[in-house]
Amino acid sequence: MPATRKLEDRDVYIYEGQIYIPNTYTAGAVGTRFLTGLRDGKKILGTRCAACNRVYVPARSTCHACFEPIDEWVEVSGTGTLETYTVVYEDNPCQPAEPPLVYGIIRLDGADNGFLHMLGGVDPEDLRVGMRVQAVFERDRTGSILDIRYFTPFGGC
Ligand SMILES: [Zn+2]
């Protein structure tokens, strides 16, 4: 039974706790093609909306901007620009690595949206918004988003 606590000035009690909810769901046809691209060829695949020309990475089947179905595949670069980042110091079973862990939003060259992934091979103190980063792939890839080990800075800002 979780502990309860009374709110300060009300006759209201709350439960405090954490809920662990394991789940499994399919990546779908588009997600599967994206993941096998990573696995088989170190290819980062996106999809381009024919109506507005936006390129989404990871690939998606519907345009967020104009809601049109998307079926054109494009390969984008493994290089991009760091748009923002955060450093996580708290351990959490949902995270793919031990803290400190750096998550970033990367605008890959050829894409029109941000791509969420980890940053590595760099002291977090040396990270800067706008710096150039490149994908570092795992040698043994399994069809996971973690086939990209992380993105790391290269070539200056
Ligand atoms: Zn569109």
pLDDT digits (tens, 9 = 90+) for 85-115: 999 999 888 888 889 999 999 999 999 999 9
Residue 16 lies in a domain: no
Distance from the alpha carbon of residue 113 to the mean position of ligand 1, in angstroms: 12
Residue 4 lies in a domain: no
Residue 117 lies in a domain: yes
Residue 14 lies in a domain: no
Q: What is the pTM of this model?
A: 0.84
Distance from the alpha carbon of residue 78 to the mean position of ligand 1, in angstroms: 23
Residue 111 lies in a domain: yes
Report the domain count for the chain. 1
pLDDT digits (tens, 9 = 90+) for 27-76: 999 999 999 999 999 999 999 999 999 999 999 999 999 999 999 999 99
Q: Are 126 and 82 in contact (CB under 8 A)?
A: no
Q: CB within 8 A of 33, min separation 6: which ones?
A: 45, 59, 73
Distance from the alpha carbon of residue 108 to the mean position of ligand 1, in angstroms: 18
Distance from the alpha carbon of residue 58 to the mean position of ligand 1, in angstroms: 15
Average pLDDT, the chain: 93
Residue 70 lies in a domain: yes
Distance from the alpha carbon of residue 56 to the mean position of ligand 1, in angstroms: 10
Position 157 scores a pLDDT of 46
Residue 12 lies in a domain: no
